[in-house]
A and B are shown apart, each in its own frame.
Chain A
Amino acid sequence: MPRDLFIDGVPELLMLRLLARKEMYGYELVSEISKRSNNVFTFGEGCIYPILHRLVRQKELSVRKDTVSGRSRRYYKLTKLGTKRLTTLETSWSNVSRGVESFGKELGHAT
């Protein structure tokens, strides 16, 4: 399991999941995460951009620039490498979920 899964692995996983469906820009991503998670994930919205830029540097995302209403906007898309990264994170996450679930069950039997 990657050591960073609990630090920024969750926002990264959510972003990659959304970007696997379609090309999106930052604000759109944040709004979608917030809507779909019923505001469970309340990390500082601006903090997702440094993660997006790192993923671009790692070639896991590709970026396209556009100008909308006079403002510069970047649209992100998942690359082949990003799809691999998403699979890894999905596997790690389901392992964590299974681990926590089985841990809870064990405790339930003990009491």
Chain B
Amino acid sequence: MQPENQIEAIRLELKRNGIKGNYAEDLIEEWKDHLASQIEELLHSGYDEDNAQRIAREKLGSPNSLAKAAKIQKEKSSWYDKYPLLASSISGLLIILLSLGSLAAAGFYLTNKQFAASTTTLATSLFNLLPWIIGLLWLTHQARQQLLNRKSFACSTTLACLFLCSSFLKIDHSISTNTYAQLSFGIGYFSFFSGSKVFVTLLLSLYFYIPNRIEQTTSH
């Protein structure tokens, strides 16, 4: 069996054992490098190509044993590592609930206190930043951990942009008087400010995600 066929057999066995995504791809890269390094060393020691490939395959381990080892180690990981997509969806949902809850509380507080219109406007702008800041921290964590594959990460970034860059607490100027401002709760429009937040969100998420994915190339 050629090394490429061996790698293909390992890939299939990993799939059969439910190992996929970045974890599977990263392991396959390592096994590929291991096989190639071993073959190179054996050829250097005087083995012919067929024997070198056979010995390297045997030393690496059977596709079944490698897939089982990958599964065992994955099971030892935390719940978050084992089910990254589900875990990040749940944590994302919790972030949304936390943001909405804190905004609702802030909204009620501002309404009941009846601050001056200028104070309410300033406080509203600041409170509207809260979900964005919480969400950015969450997104940065996702990017740094590299638990999600590209598609899932792009999806969570898009959702974060859609949700976090909207304004939730709005001042209703039609009802506002000279002294007080009336607050309402709902998804706001996309203003220039929201656009800037989208830009910063995308920039930060790419800043933390891409460097880990780019391989530093050196000549050897």
A contact set with B: CB distance below 8 Å: 4, 8, 25-27, 30, 44-47, 49-54, 57-58, 64-69, 71-74
- In the complex, what residues of A have CB within 8 A of residue B134's CB? none
Given A50-B72, A65-B215, answer yes or no on A27-B34 (Cβ-Cβ < 8 Å).
yes
- In the complex, what residues of A have CB within 8 A of residue B66's CB? 44, 46-47, 50
A50 touches B27 (CB 8 A): yes
How close is B8's CB to chain A, nearest CB, in angstroms? Answer: 15
B81 touches A57 (CB 8 A): yes
- In the complex, what residues of B have CB within 8 A of residue A46's CB? 31, 34, 60-61, 65-66, 69
How far apart are the CA atoms of A68 and B217 in the complex, in Å? 8
Write out, one digit per residue, whether chain B residues 21-45 have a CB within 8 A of any chain A CB (1) or not (0): 0010011011111101110000000
A69 touches B34 (CB 8 A): no
How far apart are the CA atoms of A22 and B29 in the complex, in Å? 22
How far apart are the CA atoms of A9 and B143 in the complex, in Å? 31
How far apart are the CA atoms of A67 and B36 in the complex, in Å? 13
How close is B219's CB to chain A, nearest CB, in angstroms? Answer: 9
Given A64-B216, A72-B215, answer yes or no on A50-B59 (Cβ-Cβ < 8 Å).
no
B contact set with A: CB distance below 8 Å: 23, 26-27, 29-34, 36-38, 59-62, 65-66, 69-70, 72-74, 76-78, 81, 215-218, 220
- In the complex, what residues of A have CB within 8 A of residue B38's CB? 27, 45
B69 touches A45 (CB 8 A): no
How far apart are the CA atoms of A30 and B72 in the complex, in Å? 20
How close is A55's CB to chain B, nearest CB, in angstroms? Answer: 9
- In the complex, what residues of B have CB within 8 A of residue A26's CB? 30, 33-34
A54 (CB) vs chain B CBs: closest residue: B73
- In the complex, what residues of B have CB within 8 A of residue A58's CB? 77
A44 touches B69 (CB 8 A): yes
- In the complex, what residues of A have CB within 8 A of residue B76's CB? 4, 54
Given A26-B34, A44-B60, answer yes or no on A65-B73 (Cβ-Cβ < 8 Å).
no
B73 touches A51 (CB 8 A): yes
- In the complex, what residues of B have CB within 8 A of residue A64's CB? 216
In the assembled complex, 6 residue pairs joining A and B whose CB atoms fall closer than 8 Å, in A order, are: A4-B76, A44-B69, A47-B66, A50-B27, A72-B215, A73-B33
**Among A25, A26, A57, A69: residue with most chain B CB under 10 A:** A57
Given A27-B34, A46-B69, A71-B33, answer yes or no on A54-B77 (Cβ-Cβ < 8 Å).
yes
How far apart are the CA atoms of A57 and B22 in the complex, in Å? 13
- In the complex, what residues of B have CB within 8 A of residue A66's CB? 215-218
- In the complex, what residues of B have CB within 8 A of residue A27's CB? 33-34, 37-38
